[in-house]
Amino acid sequence: MDKRCLRYGILSLLLLSVGLFPATGSAAPQGRYTVLIDAAHGGGEPGVVSEKIREKDLTLGLALLIRQEAQKTGNIQVQLTRSADKEMAVAERIKAIEAQKPDCVLSLHVNAGFGKKAAGYEVYFPGFRQTAAGGAESAAIIKDMAVNRHLNDSVRLAQPIQAALETVFPRKGRGLRDAPSPLLEGVSLPGLVVEVAFLTQPDEKKKLTNAETQKAIARALVKGLREYFQSTP
Ligand SMILES: [Zn+2]
């Protein structure tokens, strides 16, 4: 090998290593996140039904759209508890979530009211049930601390999710609620139950069954998730 050849050899080796190990100071790689989207109901359990429109189909359609939309972000991967019209017990969903170890969970539902008036989106999660600290086993205290941390994250997640839904359903927020959720109580993760809108309210039914609005809901939820991860310390 002559000198010139050697020089080019070293030069290309240098260029290669610069490519492999970018100089410090360049943008840090984006964090990668996994979100579990749970399409509620399925199979023989249709959820809310209004004139042949079934909650189980709406939640599945939205879950698939969210997965598609999340692919565009490059750093948020969406896993689903179900990707077909399949009945799943809560225990089975919990098992699926635990196997996938996502960073957070959104369980999608569509609401029903007694009349046609109830409208709007609703976000809820089970509250922290305070147990008497005195005499508690240390394992129980540690578990409580973990639950508490997930609750803080759930509240933090609720904010951008509500703001995102507000863009699709303006002035329709029904607030952040504390309600039991066997699914979320069964997993030790930040998560929310999202009741997207009321299938029993004529205007919202129109929106829920409109392909463009469905895409807008999916886009909005992914935007909310992105903001949540961006603000994650
Ligand atoms: Zn439901």
Q: Is residue 8 part of a domain?
A: no
Whether the model clears a pTM of 0.75, i.e. scores above it, the answer is yes
Q: Is residue 18 part of a domain?
A: no
Ligand 1 centroid from CA 47, angstroms:
5
Q: What is the mean pLDDT of the chain?
A: 85
Residue 174: the pLDDT is 87
User: Considering only 21-30, 39-48, 52-61, 145-154, which range has the smallest mean pLDDT?
Assistant: 21-30
Q: Is residue 73 part of a domain?
A: yes
The pair of structure tokens assigned to 139 is: 């394992």
List the 76-80 sheet strands across, edge first: 76-80, 33-39, 104-111, 191-198, 121-125, 173-178
Ligand 1 centroid from CA 106, angstroms:
13
CATH of the domain at 150: 3.40.630.40
Ligand 1 centroid from CA 19, angstroms:
50
Residue 107: the pLDDT is 98
Instruction: Tell me which residue has tokens 């999202």.
Output: 194
Ligand 1 centroid from CA 107, angstroms:
9
Q: Is residue 22 part of a domain?
A: no
Q: Which residues surround ligand 1, an ion (CB under 5 A)?
A: 40, 47, 109
User: Residues 24-51: what's their mean pLDDT?
Assistant: 83
Structural domains counted in the chain: 1
Residue 175: the pLDDT is 84
Residue 141: the pLDDT is 61
Ligand 1 centroid from CA 46, angstroms:
9
Ligand 1 centroid from CA 109, angstroms:
4
Catalogue the long-range contacts made by 99-104 (C-beta closer than 8 Å, 24 or more residues apart): 100/34, 100/36, 101/34, 102/34, 102/35, 102/36, 102/189, 103/33, 103/34, 103/35, 103/189, 103/190, 103/229, 104/35, 104/36, 104/153, 104/157, 104/189, 104/190, 104/191, 104/192, 104/225, 104/228
Position with higher pLDDT, 29 vs 208:
208
Ligand 1 centroid from CA 55, angstroms:
7
Task: Please calculate the CA angle 123-126-127 and round it to the nearest 5 degrees.
Answer: 110
User: In the predicted model, is pLDDT for residue 48 greater than 80?
Assistant: yes
Q: Is residue 57 part of a domain?
A: yes
Q: Is residue 202 part of a domain?
A: yes
Ligand 1 centroid from CA 180, angstroms:
13
Q: How confident is the model at residue 67 (pLDDT cuts 50, 70, 90)?
A: very high
Ligand 1 centroid from CA 71, angstroms:
26
The pair of structure tokens assigned to 56 is: 């189980």
User: Residues 50-57: what's their mean pLDDT?
Assistant: 96
User: Residues 87-98: what's their mean pLDDT?
Assistant: 96
Ligand 1 centroid from CA 171, angstroms:
22
Q: Is residue 5 part of a domain?
A: no
Q: Which amino acid is at 145?
A: M
Ligand 1 centroid from CA 69, angstroms:
23
Ligand 1 centroid from CA 41, angstroms:
6
Q: How confident is the model at residue 4 (pLDDT cuts 50, 70, 90)?
A: low
User: In the predicted model, is pLDDT for residue 161 greater than 70?
Assistant: yes
Q: Is residue 13 part of a domain?
A: no
Ligand 1 centroid from CA 166, angstroms:
20
Ligand 1 centroid from CA 169, angstroms:
19
Model confidence over 101-157: pLDDT tens digits? 999 999 999 999 988 999 999 999 887 444 434 455 666 666 666 667 788 899 999
Domain span holding position 144: 31-230
- Under 8 Å between Cβ of 119 and 203: yes
